[in-house]
């Protein structure tokens, strides 16, 4: 499986880019649209009709709104149709069984669950497409009249299935006209290789520890090993997701697009408020612009402010998955952010060491809540974290994982950023570094078991 995946990618990318660069400018978006649909269909061919319907419905909704300017009810109708279709599709595939199971549990009913597979990237491309229709409705941008350009935006393959969430306003000018310079190409290749190395060399390797502990059973591990395991998962999810984002941004640059930054060393944060300005930045921006501000933002009474925060963070949790652990994960951040808004952040800003410890410990706990959807397993694991269970098993795993822990810790901070910037313009250094990283990554992918990106599940 993994070999066929690698083989497909190493055929797809060179052929796609070769055709793309050789194609005249006015046909480049058509090449992107066709290549992106092939890319998506290779992973989810049976959901191709849903993707096609999404493109068509939202394209027509945008045109409808644009053509009925000044007729408020008709514009509202176009917006409502698009929102119902997008949210309805997302709800059916991602949340229908979750709500049915809860209804059955509460009312004793016997609604049968549907056998559904979550379409790849549905949470990401649904939010992207909704931002387009909303922005057209509020006249932040004109509707896209060229169907090819619009389709290319919706299914643009670099970030289609796991972000970053690219709003139409981020790339609408580049969809019309863009240039690709040698420097831009070089930057794109570097970012792609950095992202690939983050996933393959760091996330996968440090994540093996968490996988081993799950297979071993949390009842059979010591407290030190439990902490090592959840720290490993914390590194894994960061390098896995930030790695994909870097790959997407790099590929975007190689195609002439400037995708927004998605991560900014979140683990160096000194408050949860700061963490969410650094982690999955495009998702935070989306919720702020399309949910928090329309609810009134912070220009409301104090009770309403906390209500707005509650709604946003419940939605953020639910966006990540149809399970109560994700909802509680989101509400945990609501509580922490509410406490910080009430004045605790001023204390954190004055006490650097305490603030870093506060963030890291609570983040580690939050990732346990995020990773484990079975509450009996979650309870057992938390008991291992805080009700001391002695043992020497951690020594064996520490010997095996110490190096990757150090590497992950260093690269999750900007410690080496200055050194890299000093040497990156040296052509020999760049050739050795990036050529070596790419070769090692390919060797790892061919020789390892299948390990998809974690955020493919969301």
The torsion of the CA quartet 335, 124, 232, 215, rounded to 10 degrees, works out to 110
- 115 touches 124 (CB < 8 A): no
Helices (H), ranges, 23-146: 28-44, 48-67, 72-90, 96-107, 122-137
Q: Which of 114, 280, 320, 356 is catalytic?
A: 320
Query: DSSP string of 77-106?
Result: HHHHHHHHHHHHHHIIIIIHHHHHHHHHHH
Residue 257 in tokens: 């697009």
297 by Cβ neighbours in 10 Å (0-12 / 13-18 / 19+) ranks as: middle
Tell me how far apart the alpha carbons of residues 28 and 297 are, in angstroms, rounded to a whole number: 40
Tell me how far apart the alpha carbons of residues 133 and 195 are, in angstroms, rounded to a whole number: 31
320 is catalytic: yes
Tell me how far apart the alpha carbons of residues 237 and 283 are, in angstroms, rounded to a whole number: 16
Tell me how far apart the alpha carbons of residues 340 and 104 are, in angstroms, rounded to a whole number: 38
Count of CB atoms situated within 10 Å of the CB of 455: 19
Count of CB atoms situated within 10 Å of the CB of 216: 13
19 by Cβ neighbours in 10 Å (0-12 / 13-18 / 19+) ranks as: middle
Three-state secondary structure call for residue 195: helix
Tell me how far apart the alpha carbons of residues 197 and 254 are, in angstroms, rounded to a whole number: 18
Residue 358, CB half-sphere, CA atoms under 13 Å: how many?
Answer: 20
Active site residues: 320
């Amino acid at each position: 499986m993994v070999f066929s995946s690698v083989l497909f990618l190493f055929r797809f990318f060179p052929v796609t880019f070769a055709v793309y660069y050789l194609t005249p400018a006015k046909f480049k978006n058509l090449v992107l649209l066709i290549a992106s649909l092939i890319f998506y269909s290779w992973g989810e061919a049976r959901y191709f009709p849903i993707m096609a319907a999404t493109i068509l419905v939202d394209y027509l909704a945008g045109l409808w709104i644009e053509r009925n300017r000044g007729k408020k009810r008709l514009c509202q109708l176009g917006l409502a149709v698009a929102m119902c279709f997008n949210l309805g599709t997302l709800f059916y595939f991602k949340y229908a069984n979750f709500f049915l199971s809860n209804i059955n549990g509460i009312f004793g009913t016997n609604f049968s669950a549907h056998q559904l597979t979550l379409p790849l990237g549905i949470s990401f491309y649904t939010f992207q497409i909704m931002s387009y229709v909303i922005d057209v409705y509020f006249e932040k941008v004109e509707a896209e009249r060229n169907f090819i350009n619009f389709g290319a935006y919706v299914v643009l393959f670099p970030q289609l299935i796991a972000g970053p969430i690219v709003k139409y306003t981020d790339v609408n000018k580049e969809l019309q006209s863009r240039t690709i310079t040698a420097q831009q190409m070089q930057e794109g290749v570097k970012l792609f290789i950095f992202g690939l190395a983050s996933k393959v060399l760091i996330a996968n390797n440090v994540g093996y520890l968490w996988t081993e502990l799950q297979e071993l059973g949390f009842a059979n591990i010591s407290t030190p090993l439990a902490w090592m395991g959840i720290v490993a998962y914390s590194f894994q999810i960061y390098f896995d997701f930030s790695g994909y984002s870097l790959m997407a941004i790099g590929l975007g640059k190689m195609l002439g697009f400037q995708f927004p930054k998605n991560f900014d060393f979140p683990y160096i944060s000194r408050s949860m408020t700061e963490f969410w300005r650094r982690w999955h930045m495009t998702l935070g921006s989306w919720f702020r612009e399309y949910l928090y501000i329309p609810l009134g933002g912070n220009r409301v009474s104090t009770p309403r402010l906390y209500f707005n925060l509650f709604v946003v963070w419940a939605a953020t949790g639910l966006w990540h998955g149809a399970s109560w652990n994700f909802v509680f994960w989101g509400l945990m951040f609501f509580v922490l952010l509410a406490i910080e808004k009430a004045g605790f952040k001023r204390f954190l800003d004055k006490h650097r060491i305490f603030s870093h410890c506060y963030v890291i410990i609570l983040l580690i706990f939050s990732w346990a809540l995020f990773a484990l959807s079975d509450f009996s397993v979650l309870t057992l694991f938390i008991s291992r974290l805080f009700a001391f269970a002695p043992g020497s098993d951690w020594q064996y795993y520490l010997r095996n994982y110490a190096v990757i822990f150090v590497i992950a810790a260093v690269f999750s901070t900007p410690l080496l950023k200055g050194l890299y910037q000093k040497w990156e313009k040296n052509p020999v250094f760049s050739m050795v570094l990036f050529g070596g990283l790419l070769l090692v990554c390919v060797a790892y992918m061919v020789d390892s078991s299948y390990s998809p990106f974690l955020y493919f599940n969301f």
